[in-house]
A = this chain, B = another copy of it.
Amino acid sequence: MSSEAANTAPMASAAAESKSTKPKDSKKKSKKLEQFLLKTPKGTKDWADKDMIFREAIFNSLSTLFQKHGGVTIDTPVFELREILTGKYGEDSKLIYNLEDQGGELTSLRYDLTVPFARFVASNSISSIKRYHIAKVYRRDQPAMTKGRMREFYQCDFDIAGQYDSMIPDSEILQLLCEGLTGLGIRDFKVKLNHRKILDGIFQACGVQDEDVRKVSSAVDKLDKLPWQAVKDEMVKEKNQPEEVADRIGEFVKHNGTVREVLDILRNDELLTANKSAQEGIADMETLADYLDAFEISSFISFDLSLARGLDYYTGLIYEAVTAASAPPTDAEKLKQKAQKDKKEVEDASEYVGVGSIAAGGRYDNLVGMFSNGKSIPCVGISFGVERLFSIIKARAQKQLNEVSAYKTQAFVMAFGGGEGWNGYLKERMAIAQRLWAAGINTEYLYKAKANIRKQFDAAEKSGAQIGVILGKEEYLEGKLRVKVLGQGEDSDQGELVDVKDIVEVVQKKIEESKKGGMDDITRLIRNL
């Protein structure tokens, strides 16, 4: 249980990755081979030690939240039939991982948890469900490991499927989003909000043809990373929109503010009054504004007409939560150009990206219908990005990391003795450990037939055990054991001499007295960071 070694696991593997040979060179085996073998695939990592404990605390916090809102959990396969995923992700479809055709069905790793959820709802003919799902998803994207941009990463999703009155489930999802981030100790976030019907209405009113709406939308989606001029260029040059159309769009997408502020602008805009799609969206947003007040979360919300979201399947409200850490550093462009000039293949792009949105989602009313002859079930949901949350929380929790241990051992059984005929009391230690295990006590002992006092105390300390159970050579022959609270110096006291028959009771009492931080304590620690 060498805790230091395990502690460095993610670092070590990230370092191994950046040093790795390029895959195409793998024919040059020999010396490079071992280095190549000793890493995880690009964009993936091992989780271990305290990182694992922190991640568990994040999962714990979010699943408690999801259950608070009536969620039940499901688990779907990590790969789906390829046709299930086809045509759902727009320009990002190229990032889907395929499994090799080894005969049989063509399958791909899931790209998100939303499409598998819609397939699940359709294939089981479910009319309504609130489900949560915490699992890994896969994207062949350019990774930026230290910022939590991975090829294999966790999503924590909560979705509400069912036919309900307008904006009621949507507002609860936004409430849950704010409650979820606050519960993870993140308070400096903003939820950017927009509505696909308003956005599409704006595009139509500005003169975009219906068939061009999605591709213009995906240009607008880049406004969080690029200046308006670059987005305009993409619309005009790559997507063949007249310059005046792009300029009209530019006038709209610069608006943001409270829901009521932006609604005032939209309601008074002459271009939009005749647009049915925009008016439907505006009516939704008016309803929503009231509900956000009822939930007391309006202060977190920014109605932002530049938010477009890349995925094809959204049909209504869309949103994403961002923090200061979401934005790229101010010298990002310079760093990027330097890297390109140096012709470095950028394995780790983390220097010039922010963590991006830490949670995102929207309404998708037609996705289930794509799997069930058009008989659709309206859905709305949110996805929390665990790696990004983790990197923010871990950066804040440097000090608190010391208070957290990955080890949960409570008792360590030792034997002290020596001289003629001393056999190390191994079988006796096993029998005592067996009794403690049977009572539910986390117990270890040193895997040596005979071991000296120092080695046993060292092992006990490493294990994190609070209680030492000591079999003294002579004492044990008289049916006695010594029980000692650890971590107070080896010789601080001699411990309490107890009858072997009372051992479980005494150890349980001493554990109760010196209680260690459990998962709830860590969840609380994170919340109060």
Do A164 and B75 have beta carbons less than 8 Å apart? Answer: no
Q: Restricting to A120-167, which residues have a CB under 8 Å from any CB of B? A: 120, 122-130, 136, 140, 152, 160, 162, 164-165
- Among the listed stretches A192-200, A442-450, A474-482, which one makes contact with chain B, having 4 or more residues with CB under 8 Å of it? A442-450
A contact patch SS? mixed
A126 CB to closest chain B CB (Å) equals: 4
What chain B residues lie within 8 Å of A89 (beta carbons)? none
- Among the listed stretches A3-11, A228-236, A270-278, A396-404, which one makes contact with chain B, having 4 or more residues with CB under 8 Å of it? A3-11
Do B107 and A98 have beta carbons less than 8 Å apart? Answer: no
Count this chain's copies in the assembly: 2
Choose among B9, B34, B291, B407 the residue that contacts A70 (Cβ–Cβ < 8 A). Answer: B407
Q: Which A residues fall within an 8 A CB radius of B?
A: 1-2, 5-6, 8-9, 12-13, 16, 23, 26, 33-34, 36-42, 44-49, 52, 55, 64, 67-70, 72-81, 83-84, 97-102, 104-107, 109, 119-120, 122-130, 136, 140, 152, 160, 162, 164-165, 168-169, 171-172, 175, 179, 290-291, 293-296, 371-373, 406-409, 426-428, 430-431, 434, 437-438, 440-444, 447-449, 463
Do B68 and A443 have beta carbons less than 8 Å apart? Answer: yes
A234 to B169, CA, bound (A): 64
Do B104 and A101 have beta carbons less than 8 Å apart? Answer: no
Choose among B64, B84, B165 the residue that contacts A449 (Cβ–Cβ < 8 A). Answer: B165
Do A102 and B12 have beta carbons less than 8 Å apart? Answer: no
A449 to B167, CA, bound (A): 10
6 further A-B contacts with Cβ under 8 Å, apart from A5-B124, A68-B442, are A70-B409, A97-B99, A99-B109, A290-B427, A291-B427, A294-B431
A437 CB to closest chain B CB (Å) equals: 6
Choose among B5, B26, B105, B291 the residue that contacts A125 (Cβ–Cβ < 8 A). Answer: B5
Also in contact, A74 and B46, with CB within 8 A (given A23-B106, A83-B37): yes
A43 CB to closest chain B CB (Å) equals: 9
| A-B contacts, 7 listed (Cβ < 8 Å) | A1-B129, A2-B127, A9-B120, A70-B407, A70-B442, A100-B101, A294-B426
Do B97 and A5 have beta carbons less than 8 Å apart? Answer: no
Choose among B37, B129, B438 the residue that contacts A6 (Cβ–Cβ < 8 A). Answer: B129
Choose among B13, B140, B295 the residue that contacts A123 (Cβ–Cβ < 8 A). Answer: B13
